[in-house]
Amino acid sequence: MTVFIIRRLLQALLVVFMMSVIVFFGVNIVGDPVYMLVSPDADQADIEAAISRLGLDRPILEQYWLFLKGAAQGDLGNSFIFGEPALKLILHHMPATMELAFSALFLAIVIGIPLGLYAGLYPDGMLSKGIMAASIFGFSLPTFWVGLMLIMLFAVELQWVPATGRGDIGSFLGIQSSIFTLDGLSHIFLPALNLALLKISLAIRLTRAGVREAMGLDYVKYARAKGLSTRRIILVHVMKNIMIPVVTVMGLEFGSLIGFSVVTETIFAWPGMGKLLIDAILQLDRPVVVAYLMIIVLFFVLINLIVDILYSILDPRVRLQDQGA
């Protein structure tokens, strides 16, 4: 077991290192950030001063070496635009993204699971067919387009909720978040719903498949024979069994929620990490782009590592297979 974990840790480190090479060299080849930073009427001396101040006059290998040395000490470089450490900028924007991602996950669970349960229990009903058709749309509609439609319907036409920005921030149990104020909730509703749509469809499909499979199994028949009410069979026995895979998958999808939030944040002008990334790409703010991508890579590698380790504990075959390969 320890050997397995060490192997996986080394692999994870290797992945992070490889991604740092790809990301750093990739990002540093595109465009010339200096011309976005100096004023248009700057002379050659000003431009050269800016280049050396940003460290861009050094060979790229040396730049990468400095980046690695800094990264090992938790310093991912300074933003070209803001002059602040890139890591600090990203951490400053992270709570807004996390809040959005958690709200979306919450919506996906409270909307998706009951709808999936219904569709699984009455697969031939009109409503169930409607739910499943809607879930196909949830999968195939591009997120940004749905976001536009949500803005048009709820913010422009009906004017129920504001279209953009983050609302007032409240504090509860020491956690600062906009979901603790009414204004904040009205701001987060649309972006969270937009981000959640894909996951709602996923939750519907997983729950429905689980319910349909479980309803034919012996333990359900036995519970019926014992005289338990349908309500109790479904809510206690069936739900308990199908929740494990559904919750696992939804948890795994959390990483992709953070990834997708790039799109949602741009549409709804949500001040999170994703919006920071897009702005940084457009302004050629390389250190911020590199830092964001490295953090996301780290995030995914960690999630996968945890899942791998948990699975190897739950299912020893995974571990044995890995040693065989």
Minimum distance, C-beta of residue 137 to another protein, in the bound complex (Å)? 7
Other C-beta atoms closer than 10 Å to the C-beta of 29 total: 8
Give the rounded distance of the alpha carbon of 56 from its chain centre. 32
In angstroms, rounded to a whole number, what is the distance separating the alpha carbons of residues 212 and 10?
41
Instruction: List the one residue from 35, 137, 160, 172 that touches another protein (CB under 8 A).
Output: 137
Site string for another protein, 138-157 (x = CB under 8 A): -xxxxxxx--xx-xx--xx-
Which amino acid belongs to residue 177? S
Cα radius of gyration (the chain): 24
Nearer to another protein, 105 or 277 (CB): 277
26 is an interface residue for another protein by CB under 8 A = yes
Residue whose C-alpha is closest to residue 27's, from 292, 274, 265, 257: 292
**Residue 291 binds to another protein (criterion: CB under 8 A):** no
Taking the least distance from each CB to another protein, the nearer of 87 and 163 is 163
Distance separating alpha carbons of residues 309 and 315, to the nearest angstrom: 10
2 binds another protein (CB under 8 A): no
Q: How many residues bind another protein (CB under 8 A)?
A: 42
Question: Does residue 1 belong to the site contacting another protein (CB under 8 A)?
Answer: no
Task: List beta partners, residue 177.
Answer: 170
Evaluate whether 243 touches 278 at the Cβ level (below 8 Å). no
CB 312 within 8 A of CB 319: yes
Q: Is 217 in the site for another protein (CB under 8 A)?
A: no
Give the binding site for another protein (CB under 8 A).
15, 22-23, 26-27, 29-31, 136-137, 139-145, 148-149, 151-152, 155-156, 163, 255-256, 259-260, 262-263, 266-267, 277-278, 281-282, 289, 293, 296, 300, 304, 325
